Amino acid sequence: MNPKPFSIFRIAAVLFLFAFMLSVNSCQKDNHSPTNRLKDFNVRMLAGNNNKYGAEHIISTLQNAWGLAFSSGGTAWVNAQAGHVSDVMDSIGNRIPAVDPVNIPSPTNATGGSPTGIVFNPNSDQFVIPSGDGSASQAARFIFVGDDGVVSAWNATWGHNSYRVAANEGSYKGLTLASNNGANYLYAANLKTGKIEVWDWTWNSVKWPGAFTDPNLPNDYSPFNIQVVGDQLYVTYAKASNGDEVKGAGLGLVDIYTTNGAFVKRFATGGTLNAPWGVAMAPLSFLNDDENNGKGQGSVIVIGNFGDGRINAYRASDGKFIGQLSMHNMPITIDGLWALSFAPSTSPINPNLLYFTAGPDDEQNGLFGYISRADKGNGNDNGNGNY
């Protein structure tokens, strides 16, 4: 019997199998980047009110760390809602004792307030308040709102105290500062009344007809936070009951408005949202688009869930859900997650650090820290991503 036909068949089969394996391997390389940047983050706990979560610095007043704002130079101010103060730290969680803590007023007293939202005011002649030392009035440097309805403000003349601007009805959960037609305004999310309230730079209430109206907003949803991103306002909504947010998978939505309150579009609805609060625009280098599965997402919005402590990433251009920031292939979960913020470009702080605040254990404790890309350094792996 002639063996050649069998040999030729066997050689052809081997060559076919080899070509097939190369094809499969090539497809795998095309479709799956070896490193998914949403799964490669570290968490560093900088400060907390106790050592339960391994914080590097203990600040006893940092209870239910909520709103976060940076000065232009990078000093971090964190509203401690259950501590009744705003704590002042450097970028790695060291207290600045010359200022920290700053007492926040309640509706009736100079202390005992319940601060939530906070903004830094870069304007030297707007949002002016009386001085705390008898000198001439000056612009506030930081402005606060509270879930007790108090609007307050601080500049250096007030030392460790702050000035009560107003005590209003409702429960303010978030605050931002933005410009509209060349004028600066404050915007506050009032969960109890279901309204976005606005004040001009002289502290006068502003009411624009029909402003901040989503025609398809469910009746039981209320604004939970408001943040300026570029020249637009992002409003997070939570399901509300008895003046408080309701946690639950898929409970939450995010709208975009102009700075005069005109509805632009619904950005995100349900899905992985769960009482969303923190909102920030990530720098392009944070996700490293060229390596993020080759998707080229462009600008990315990160939205944090207070409800389950997870951080969602969306494509800014169209709200496409990308994924959740993860560690060791598991979503990072920070109990009681509140603010998300990158430091201002005017500061020397690494722009790829995503700072956060949280009020774990039913808002009794507090945390201040940051999340960083594992390959960018500056982040300590404090565990498995669940806090």
Task: Return the SS3 of 363.
Answer: helix
Angle 265-266-270 from CA coordinates, rounded to 5°:
175
**Residue reference for tokens 């909102």:** 279
Helix, strand, coil percentages (3-state) for the chain, rounded to 5, are: 10, 40, 45
Is the link from the previous residue into 101 a cis peptide, with omega within 30 of 0?
yes
Residue 151's region, left for phi above 0, alpha for psi from -120 to 50, else beta, is beta
Determine how β-strand 321-324 pairs with β-strand 142-146: unpaired
Tell me, what's the pLDDT at 201?
A: 98
Question: pLDDT, tens digit, for every residue of 254-305?
Answer: 999 999 999 999 999 999 999 999 999 998 888 864 444 434 567 899 999 9
Per-block mean pLDDT, blocks of 10 residues, the chain (387 long): 45 44 36 51 97 97 99 98 99 96 98 99 98 97 98 98 95 98 98 98 98 97 98 98 95 99 98 99 78 60 98 95 93 98 96 98 98 70 56
Q: Residue 229 has what pLDDT?
A: 98
Mean of the per-residue pLDDT values of the chain = 89
The amino acid sitting at 318 is D
164, amino acid identity: R
Tell me the two tokens of residue 358: 């949280």
Q: How far, in Å, CA of 332 to CA of 89, rounded?
A: 24
Output the pLDDT for position 376. Answer: 60
pLDDT of 243 reads: 87
pLDDT of amino acid 28: 34
Q: Please tell me the predicted confidence (pLDDT) of residue 284.
A: 84
Q: Whole-prediction pTM value?
A: 0.88
Helix (H) or strand (E) segment spanning residue 11: helix 4-31
- Whose tokens are 């730079």? That residue is 201
Superfamily of domain 37-376: TolB, C-terminal domain (2.120.10.30)
In tens, the pLDDT along 339-361 reads 999 999 999 999 999 999 999 99
Q: For position 15, what pLDDT does the model report?
A: 44
